[in-house]
Structure 1
Amino acid sequence: MKKNILTMMAILAFFESYAQDTTRQTRPLSLVLPEATPQKTFFQKEWVKKSIAPTILFTAAAATWGEKENIRELRNRYIPNFKVPYDDYLQYTPAVAVYGLKLAGVKGRNNIGRATLSHGASLAIMAILVNSIKYTTKVERPDGSSKNSFPSGHTAMAFTNASFLHKEYGLVSPAYSIGGYTVATLTGVGRNFNNRHWVPDILAGAGIGILSTELGYFFIDKIYKNKGDNLGILSRIEGNENPSFLSIKLGTALATTNFLSQAELSEKKEVGFEAGLEGAYFFSKQWGIGGDFTFSSFPVKPVNIFNEQDLGSFDFVTQSLGFLNFGIGPYFSQDLSEKLQLTLKTTAGYSSAANGKVFIKANFIDSPTEEIEIAEYRPSNSFRFNIGTALTYKLNPELGLTLYADYNQTKSKITYHYNNFDEETNDEYNSEQIRENIRYFTIGLRLTAYF
């Protein structure tokens, strides 16, 4: 009996031990076996994230290539005598900031030695790309000084240095990234204002600068076999969760009215482009105040006034319409998902228009084409109203790609001064004032940086 009891106790002990072993094996199984890695979407892949900004800039360079003469013409009408070579020095500012912060003891992604190696590799890649393209394409500069305009080396240098600052200190505070890229953008704008580069040169240079830094860090990180010296320290830094942002925007402008219908200088609604900067500071996750600074251009198609098969044709040719716009107002933001964000805005501000000229273009059959200036138009500065919506896909917490649509409205009084060809009178011009409705939609993309 005692033996049977001992046997039963041994069997029970065995099953209890087996049950405990089974529990130990089954319960922690999920901890022992690695969890399945979720499949990354296309935009979540590392190489895609790094190539989005350069791709947008290269695409913008291609899109504005056909408009570069019109853009230069507007520059000559707004600021024909601008010559302030601040861009020669400003291009280096972000790199100087990096070394200043490191010497001051502010920890960034890497220690100073590794940061210098990464930056050196980036500069080497940038120099190879810029110079090989410059002396292959041989594009003449807008001032006619040489044939090495495309792409802009100053802008490439500025954006290489801005990306260097972003790489090293963007994790510490997005404000460093915003400051660096703002300085780089001002450098690019300076190249255009100083009539040293076409707009496509500047956009391509910016893309090359960002791409060069990504490649430089990629190769140096492979040598060190990690992403940075101080990432463990920086990972504990928490950022602002409000959706404050600064963005570069480029889009197509679609007129809803014929801007020159009253003067009968245009038969169709104009189609142009818009480029500029937009940003907002949010006091909460939904409400903020912001504004934009944009430039819009609308080429005007010639209007045929006479066409004779044996003689030729005569057209009215009007220089393109250009507007510098500034607006400020409330912004509303709503997260639709972890990656998608909707933004609404209403702004009011100021619109300044460029003066232009009107010609008669004579296309004779048996003689050279002639252009005779018959009038000058001078639009008045006016109040501007703007409403818009934007949908942002967040590539990561600091960067997003935004599809935006804006409606713009202003009423400009255009004064036409007509040339007086009567030599017997002393008046050089006769004038007429016409009020035109300027209304248009813009649809485009923004590269959005959060801070």
Structure 2
Amino acid sequence: MVKFLFILLLLQQSIICAQDSLVLNTKYSYDKVDFTEGKWINKAIAPSIFFVASAASWSERENIREIRNRYIPTFKVDYDDYLQYSPAAAVFGLKIAGVKGRNNTLRATISYASSLAIMGIIVNTVKNSVDVERPDGSANNSFPSGHTSMAFTNATFLHKEYGLVNPLYSIGGYSAATFTGLGRNLNNRHWISDVLAGAGIGILSTELGYFFINKFYKNNGDNEGLLSKISGNDNPSFLALKVGSALGTTNFLKESELDDKKEVGFEAGLEGAYFINKKWGIGADITFSSFPVLKTHFDLDDQGLEHVDIVTQSLGFLNFGIGPYYAYDFNDNFQLMLKAKLGYSIGASGKILLKDDFIDAPTNEFEIAEYKPTDSFRFNSGVSLTYKINNELGITLYSDYNASSSTINYKFNEILADDEMDDNLNASAKEKMNYVGIGLKLTAYF
């Protein structure tokens, strides 16, 4: 479940990235649009982010699958086989109902067919070239995810046709695509890198399909007048994806004597705020943080063994918070934001394992104990600096401080009970789970 939240949050941001850079109350000349101008730079942001994220997650894909197997090993719900088509079905349903979009039905159909052709060529060419085995071992055509590519092609189709009419159409379409990609991971049919690449291919395919068809028609749409209906919002209300490093403080895991074993963790989440004016707003976040623990090495030469390793599964926390936000604009491009939130932190259970080749088990490991951090209240404060790419999108550098206290309860394997333990197989340690999060956010204003 841990990194599936990350997948959900990252895919969700395509709702924003794939948005056109809108020119309010202006009809622009189509024949000036080409790949070298700023508008196409904006269109390329979403696919580029997904492709970079896919490459960055490649080395961690097996670790991410291990977390899925740790929490929901038997998950099997095939909703993603059908949900991928829902945004396109919505477009044609709206056309039949007489709701006017960017183009008439014939032109929209031609643009959609072109987008599908581009997507199909890219997906099948890559699938047959890279030969990546699926995580469930069923075939060697895992990369990229065809379902996710189809879902994001359809979602961008809905956005292109009706996003200017009402942004809720875009939100609905990209939400369906998001849950399709999530389903491919939950069902163990694709690696995270497959899904991220598929999302990028889907968005890019539709943008290219519309580009070429618009060239043929020599304008940007049959109903360009819809652009004049768009109204802006001067308040800095936003929705953002955050991904960064989590740096535990010096007393993190001190009572469990693991403070020198903790590694730099990661955090990922979704954050948003609604501003009542240009300065003040109320916001909330949902964030997952994970902290790996170095394995402990023991030499057992006196027992005829070279060594054994004790492995502690990473600590994971699902965090929620709500509180006030303050924004200050230095100029049109740079914005400072401060926040302070109170919330709740939910700890994930984990295992402590003894690993070595001499252990007679399929995975050469023996479970020493289980652990579970108790749920606790959480305080979060932070500062961020955003560079606005345009009025709708920005890149944010953030630094957050998070503070909570939790008792970690340990339950040892009954096999380990002896006289010295007085048959007491339970232990606990009250820990301060304080850490600093540093990273980037993709911020969309609405």
Do Structure 1 and Structure 2 share a fold, with TM-score over 0.5? yes
Structure 2 vs 1, CA of residues 123 and 407 (structure 1 numbering), >3 Å: closer, same or farther?
A: farther
* Matching residue within 378, 387, 402 for 2:381: 387
Q: State the partner residue of 1:436.
A: 431
Structure 2 vs 1, CA of residues 412 and 74 (structure 1 numbering), >3 Å: closer, same or farther?
A: farther
Q: Is the 8 A contact 1:246 1:448 kept in 2?
A: yes
Q: Is the 8 A contact 1:362 1:369 kept in 2?
A: no
Which 5+ residue runs of structure 2 have no aligned equivalent? 1-34
SS at 1:449's partner residue?
strand
Q: State the partner residue of 1:64.
A: 57
* Offset of residue 204 of structure 1: 1.6
Q: State the partner residue of 2:290.
A: 297
Q: Cα deviations across residues 384-421 of structure 1 (Å, max 9, x unaligned)?
A: 22222333333332333333332222222111111132
Q: State the partner residue of 2:409.
A: 415
Q: State the partner residue of 1:156.
A: 149
Structure 2 vs 1, CA of residues 108 and 183 (structure 1 numbering), >3 Å: closer, same or farther?
A: same
Q: Is the 8 A contact 2:165 2:226 kept in 1?
A: no
* Offset of residue 428 of structure 1: 8.7
Q: State the partner residue of 1:82.
A: 75
Counterparts of 2:53 and 2:382, CA distance in 1: 22
- More moved, 351-360 vs 171-180: 171-180
Q: Is the 8 A contact 1:419 1:429 kept in 2?
A: no
1:397 counterpart = 2:421:
no
Which 5+ residue runs of structure 1 have no aligned equivalent? 1-41
Equivalenced residue count is: 407
Q: Is the 8 A contact 1:70 1:299 kept in 2?
A: no
- More moved, 391-400 vs 374-383: 391-400
Q: Which has the higher contact order (CA 8 A, sep 6+)?
A: 2
Counterparts of 1:290 and 1:64, CA distance in 2: 29
Counterparts of 1:147 and 1:153, CA distance in 2: 13
Counterparts of 2:142 and 2:242, CA distance in 1: 23
* Offset of residue 259 of structure 1: 4.2
Counterparts of 2:224 and 2:363, CA distance in 1: 66
* Matching residue within 238, 261, 281 for 2:231: 238
Alignment of 1:251-270 (within 5 A): 251-257=244-250, 259-265=252-258, 267-270=260-263
Counterparts of 2:426 and 2:88, CA distance in 1: 54
Q: Is the 8 A contact 1:302 1:317 kept in 2?
A: yes
Q: State the partner residue of 1:351.
A: 345
Q: State the partner residue of 2:27.
A: none
Q: Which amino acid aligns with 1:280?
A: A
1:322 counterpart = 2:319:
no
Q: Is the 8 A contact 2:262 2:294 kept in 1?
A: no
Q: State the partner residue of 1:450.
A: 445
Counterparts of 2:179 and 2:130, CA distance in 1: 25
* Offset of residue 374 of structure 1: 1.1
Q: State the partner residue of 2:178.
A: 185
- More moved, 304-313 vs 138-147: 304-313
Sequence identity (%):
64
Q: Cα deviations across residues 316-350 of structure 1 (Å, max 9, x unaligned)?
A: 21112222222222222233222333332222222
Q: Is the 8 A contact 2:261 2:295 kept in 1?
A: no
Q: Is the 8 A contact 1:77 1:355 kept in 2?
A: no
Q: State the partner residue of 2:3.
A: none
Q: State the partner residue of 1:119.
A: 112
TM-score between both structures, scaled by the size of structure 2: 0.82
Counterparts of 1:204 and 1:126, CA distance in 2: 12
Structure 2 vs 1, CA of residues 423 and 374 (structure 1 numbering), >3 Å: closer, same or farther?
A: closer
Q: Which amino acid aligns with 2:257?
A: E
Q: Is the 8 A contact 1:90 1:183 kept in 2?
A: yes
1:247 counterpart = 2:240:
yes
Counterparts of 1:186 and 1:141, CA distance in 2: 19
Q: Is the 8 A contact 2:410 2:426 kept in 1?
A: yes
* Offset of residue 74 of structure 1: 2.4
TM-score between both structures, scaled by the size of structure 1: 0.81
* Offset of residue 424 of structure 1: 8.5
Q: Which amino acid aligns with 2:336?
A: L
Structure 2 vs 1, CA of residues 90 and 289 (structure 1 numbering), >3 Å: closer, same or farther?
A: farther
Q: Is the 8 A contact 1:256 1:269 kept in 2?
A: no
